[in-house]
Amino acid sequence: MAFFKRRPAHNASRSQPESPAKRLLREHKEVAISSWCRLWQSPLANLLTWLTLAIALALPAALLLLLSQAQHLGKQVNQSSHISVFLASDVSREQGQLITGQLGSRPDIAQATYISAEQALADFKASSGLEDILTSLTDNPLPATILIEPANTSLGPKAIATLTQQLRQQDPIDQVLVDMEWLDRLQALLDTSERFTYSLALLLALGVLLVVGNTVRLQIESRKQEILVIKLVGGTDAYLRRPFLYAGLWAGLFSALIAWVILQLGVAYLHPPLLSLAQSYQSDWQLQGLSWMGSFNLFVASCGLSVLGASLTVGRQLRLIEPK
Amino acid sequence: MIRFEQVGKKYRDKNALVSNNFHLQRGDMAFLTGHSGAGKSTLLKLIMLMERPTSGKVIVDREDLSQLSRTQIPAHRRKIGLVFQNHQLLMDYSVFDNVALPLKISGYNERDSGRRVRAALDKVGLLDKEKLSPQVLSSGEQQRIGIARAIVNKPKLILADEPTGNLDPALSAEIMHLFQQFNQVGVTVLIASHDLALIQRLQHPVIQLNQGRISGPLSVMGA
């Protein structure tokens, strides 16, 4: 019977020898395509899974996006923090300007601006809308002020605190005001938000692993017969694992895509009110969507988590299915 | 090709096989008989490494199976063509894909695989059915597809577990004739069957199992 005849050396029945790497590549391509085709056999079920994953991804991604921009904004605020130095009421205009000049020449002060008591009153009249009441005052209750812009604010709140301390000790200076508390609070708030976001991201990443794991478990369950037969005719674990890992990869890809769309829509939706909020503070800050790098990270995280979730489940589940 | 040395298998407290010895030479064809529960399936499972013996040694193709680790089992199974009583075909695969499965697992490319699958289907006389689903075929045809899948890899050893269990006598004889043809070209064949009438006509050695024991040396029944 010719069928069982083994051809002589080099296995001439094969058209041409294929290198192991080439063979592996071809097999991966075949599995990638077949698992892709399998996705569309139950599109609705898959879509629901992808949506679940996408929401789990979009939430921490959105928070990280907001956080990184809030931190950026926080830095700007920090850098533009001024120190207000109130001079004692008996300091004359000349003395005040002299002190301003001295302060302005210090290396840790970028700029010192003298605001006379009269100018302060005029500014206050203009901005407060209390013009009538203020005009009726006989004395100017406002002191002369030196507005100080510290140099090197990147040194942080500590440097500002030291500078403030030194200013307080100078003689004709009545009071030094710097909104350090507000800055500290902002920093603490940002730190808290950062930790909260990371914890949430960690929990939701765990959620992604569980959802993908469970989906793969159900897929394996529904293909039990196929897996049994493949095991009986000698399919290796790697061969059996592959389609499920690719299913995980596709799930990761699609859910990242959906999460990306959700994020961009969310940014577009939040943009107008945030813009008017920023404008009311005379800020040109704008909410940015995901950058190229951010989008890339989202896709890598999503695909990585999904494949990890699939591989954690598939090995254990495949061991449970043994031909009896 | 297959050698059992003092092989025993216990399931919990029940002995399925008790210290059995036998040797099936390369190129032999033999039947394995016994009433149901005598240990036929257990013996085949030990050869396929679906089970491990509780005692003794199973040697297949000069390889001591106890030395094979879990990861080496697939390679061992690829050397054996296995035919089941209930054919174990995948109904959502076409006939062609069912037969091509062992080749796909071994990494054949489409061209070589197609050629071999058609040769195997031709061998069992079902070349014209390759595109159909196994579901629309008769049970005799389904069993022949199962046989085509078992031989597509050109194994040196074919094991069959009650391959004619669901078939009428004429179809059974036809299936057995196929196995004889494979044996004539040098393939070692071991068939578990309780169809004694058929076995007697075929004049091959018989391994008789009785309550987990081989009840005698290899004999040719009716000879």
pLDDT tens, residue by residue, A96-111:
888 888 888 888 788 8
The answer to whether A79 and A153 are in contact (CB under 8 A) is yes
A21 near B CB under 8 A: no
pLDDT tens, residue by residue, B72-115:
999 999 999 999 888 889 998 999 999 999 999 988 888 889 99
Q: Are B181 and A239 an interchain contact pair (Cβ–Cβ within 8 Å)? A: no
The answer to whether A58 and A298 are in contact (CB under 8 A) is no
pLDDT at A167: 80
pLDDT at A256: 97
Q: Are A1 and B123 an interchain contact pair (Cβ–Cβ within 8 Å)? A: yes
CA distance B147 to B101: 13
Helix (H/G/I), strand (E/B), else coil: A58 = helix
* pLDDT value at A10 more than 50: no
Q: Average pLDDT, stretch A23-35?
A: 90
A182-241 residues touching B, CB cutoff 8 A: 225-226, 228-237, 239
| Range of lowest pLDDT (A3-17, A45-59, A251-265, B88-102) | A3-17
* pLDDT value at B223 more than 60: no
Q: In chain A, what residues touch B182 (CB-CB under 8 Å)?
A: 1, 4
Question: Who has greater pLDDT, B195 or B73?
Answer: B73
* CA nearest to A20, candidates B106, B152, B69: B106
* pLDDT value at B133 more than 80: yes
Question: Who has greater pLDDT, B155 or A183?
Answer: B155
Mean of all residue pLDDT scores within chain B: 88
* pLDDT value at A255 more than 70: yes
| Range of lowest pLDDT (A71-75, A267-271, B130-134, B202-206) | A71-75
pLDDT at A115: 86
Residue A314 Rama label (left phi>0; alpha psi -120 to 50; beta) = alpha
pLDDT at B179: 93
pLDDT at A168: 82
Q: Are B78 and A225 an interchain contact pair (Cβ–Cβ within 8 Å)? A: no
pLDDT tens, residue by residue, B33-80:
988 878 888 899 999 999 999 989 999 998 999 999 989 999 999 999
Question: Who has greater pLDDT, A281 or B93?
Answer: B93
CA distance B20 to B57: 10
CA distance B21 to B55: 12
Q: Where are the domains of chain A?
A: 29-76+185-320, 82-178
As assigned by CATH, the class of the A82-178 domain is alpha beta
Q: Average pLDDT, stretch B179-199?
A: 90
pLDDT tens, residue by residue, A127-140:
777 777 777 877 88
Q: Are A232 and B71 an interchain contact pair (Cβ–Cβ within 8 Å)? A: no
pLDDT at A180: 67
* pLDDT value at A207 more than 60: yes
| Range of lowest pLDDT (A66-70, A81-85, B56-60, B164-168) | A81-85
DSSP assigned state of B223: -
pLDDT at A198: 94
| Range of lowest pLDDT (A13-22, A31-40, A239-248, B12-21) | A13-22
* pLDDT value at A12 more than 50: no
Percent pLDDT > 90 in chain A is 42
Q: Given B101, B115, B154, which is nearest A4 (Cβ)? A: B154
Unique residue bearing structure tokens 């695989």: B113
pLDDT at B23: 87
pLDDT at A152: 61
CA distance B203 to B29: 10
Q: Where are the domains of chain B?
A: 91-154
Q: In chain A, what residues touch B115 (CB-CB under 8 Å)?
A: 13
Dihedral, A89, A90, A96, A102 alpha carbons, nearest 10: -110
pLDDT at A157: 66
Q: Average pLDDT, stretch B170-174?
A: 88
